[in-house]
Amino acid sequence: STATQFANGQGWSLQVYDPAADPDGSAGTGDDGWSTVPGYENMVPKDDLVSGLGAGDEYIVLDAGFGKFLLYDINGGLPTTSTSLTYLGATEQGDALHGDNDGNLDFYDTYEAVACFATGTQIDTPTGLRWVETLRLGDLVSTRDRGPRPIAWVSVRHLSHAELVARPNLRPVRINAGALGPGQPVRRLVVSPQHRLLVRSRIAERMFGVDEVLVPAVRLTGLPGIGRITPAQGVSYHHFMFDRHEVIAANAAACESFFPGPESLRALPDPTREELFALFPELATPVPGSRLIAARPLVAGRPARELIRRHRKHGRAPVAP
């Protein structure tokens, strides 16, 4: 079986990256430049430390042996000098948005997986542009592959400024007008970090055999005009789904609708997930179905970083004219 959370019996190592030791200067390709920190070559998750308090929904203690331990906390901001830390289990949220509160740090807890548009995004529809916050169940939205399609599910969640400061991995990505290519987008676009946008280029075709792929917005940061923000008023994240995954236009930029993959579903709060399962019972089972067929190849992790690195190196926009 495939592990989904830190547990006793696993082996972990702590590695650092030195770009000077990497010929291509890219952390996302190959193993060059990576090295293991001495003394932390084989760490074991120790959730059973201190009467079972060695792990929680937001942290894990790893035992490196010989009296050395490593604390991994998804919230970041750990002190640099010796001090006492207090974790309150009742206030832990597990994954980045809501969590399962099972007392274990799950692998998907380290990022926010739901594809969301911020309030103020304009969505292409057969009747013209619509603000995302006005879309309702059954409304028609223009899709790239199948024309007008009715919305099958819609939801929204607001995150305050304090929540964004406490959990920087939730901070939205701002994409300035034209940052993806000519007219892509036509005005500033704000999305959640893991919301995938369409990349269309010869570089993508050389790397993946197709010229169009979907890449998380957070992987585009670092390109001119694209970066993370922390709005003073917080952010309201809107997401909607069709009867299958689609490519749509938001502020004229091609991007995805909500994709009900395992990570996205587990990142939803329990009531919202249960609502989805009631509407679409097939999502509650692991049997692949049409809803789990991605509209374009999904590129993440090191391949996504390398894709964007090549665009930056050659001065190419992510979306070719």
Assess whether pLDDT exceeds 60 at residue 109: no
If asked whether residues 160 and 30 sit together in one domain, one would say no
Residue 75: pLDDT band by 50, 70, 90 thresholds? Answer: low
Flag whether pLDDT at 68 surpasses 50. Answer: yes
**Rounded mean pLDDT, 266-294:** 65
- How far is residue 80's CA from residue 194's CA, in Å, rounded to a whole number? 29
The span from the CA of 96 to the CA of 29, in Å, is 27
Q: For position 302, which CATH number holds?
A: 2.170.16.10
**Domain co-membership, 199 together with 298:** yes
pLDDT at 130: 98
- Which residue carries 């832990």 as its tokens? 92
275 shares a domain with 202 = yes
Q: Do 166 and 186 share a domain, yes or no?
A: yes
pLDDT tier at 17 (50, 70, 90 boundaries)?
Answer: confident
Domain final residue pick, 63, 78, 110: 110
Long-range contact set of residues 218-221: C-beta below 8 Å, sequence gap at least 24: 218/173, 218/193, 218/194, 219/300, 219/304, 219/305, 219/307, 219/308, 220/173, 220/175, 220/180, 220/308, 220/318, 221/173
Query: What does the H/E/C string look like for the chain?
Result: CCCCECCCCCCECCEEECHHHCCCCCCCCCCCCEEECCCCCCEEECCCHHHHCCECCCEEEEEEECCEEEEEECCCCCCCCCCCCCCCHHHCCCCCCCCCCCCCCEHHHHCCCCCCEECCCEEEECCEEEEHHHCCCCCEEEECCCEEEECCEEEEEEECHHHHHHCHHHCCEEECCCCCECCECCCCEEECCCCEEEEECHHHHHHHCCCEEEEEHHHHECECCEEECCCCCCEEEEEEECCCCCEEEECCEEEECCCCCHHHHHCCCHHHHHHHHHHCHHHHCCCCCHHHCCCCCECCHHHHHHHHHHHHHHCCCCECC
Q: Which of 110, 145, 172 is the last residue of a domain?
A: 110
Domain span including residue 71: 15-110
pLDDT band at residue 53 under the 50/70/90 scheme: low
pLDDT (tens digit per residue) in 127-169: 999 999 999 999 999 999 999 999 998 988 898 999 888 878 7
Domain co-membership, 192 together with 297:
yes
Band (pLDDT 50/70/90 cuts) for residue 232 is very high
Residue 182 lies in a domain: yes
CA-angle at 305, arms to 299 and 308, nearest 5°: 90
Confidence band, pLDDT 50/70/90 cuts, at residue 99: very low
φ, ψ of residue 239 to 5 degrees: the values are: -140, 150
pLDDT band at 1 (very low <50, low <70, confident <90, very high): very low
How much is the average pLDDT of 196-209? 95
Most confidently modeled range among 73-82, 222-231, 296-305: 222-231
pLDDT at 95 over 60: no
Whether 132 and 24 share a structural domain: no
Residues 291 and 161 reside in one and the same domain: yes
Higher pLDDT, 76 or 93: 76
- Band (pLDDT 50/70/90 cuts) for residue 300 is confident
Indicate if the pLDDT at residue 103 is higher than 80. no
Q: Are residues 21 and 137 in the same domain?
A: no
Residue 7 lies in a domain: no
The arithmetic mean of pLDDT across residues 289-302, rounded, is: 78
Domains held by the chain: number: 2
* 153-159, strands of its sheet edge to edge: 153-159, 235-241, 117-118, 189-191, 173-175, 226-228
On the question of pLDDT at 73 being above 60, the answer is yes
pLDDT category at 78 given cuts 50, 70, 90 is: low
Q: Are residues 187 and 65 in the same domain?
A: no
pTM of the model: 0.66
User: What CA–CA distance (Å, rounded) separates 144 from 148?
Assistant: 9
**Is residue 10 situated within a structural domain?**
no
- CB 210 within 8 Å of CB 295: no
- The answer to whether residue 3 sits within a structural domain is no
Residue 304 forms part of a structural domain: yes
pLDDT exceeds cutoff 80 at 97: no
- For residues 224-247, give the mean pLDDT: 94
Compute the mean pLDDT over every residue in the chain, rounded to the nearest whole number: 81
Tell whether 215 and 130 lie within a shared domain. yes
* Final residue of a structural domain among 110, 128, 145: 110
In a domain, 1, yes or no: no
Residue 140 shares a structural domain with residue 101 = no
Specify whether 94 is located in the same domain as 202: no
Whether residue 6 lies inside any domain: the answer is no
320 lies in some domain: no
Check residue 77 and give its pLDDT. Answer: 56
pLDDT single digits (tens) 237-279: 998 999 899 999 999 999 999 887 666 666 666 666 776 677 6
**Is pLDDT at 35 greater than 80 in this prediction?**
yes
Q: What is the pLDDT of residue 25?
A: 59
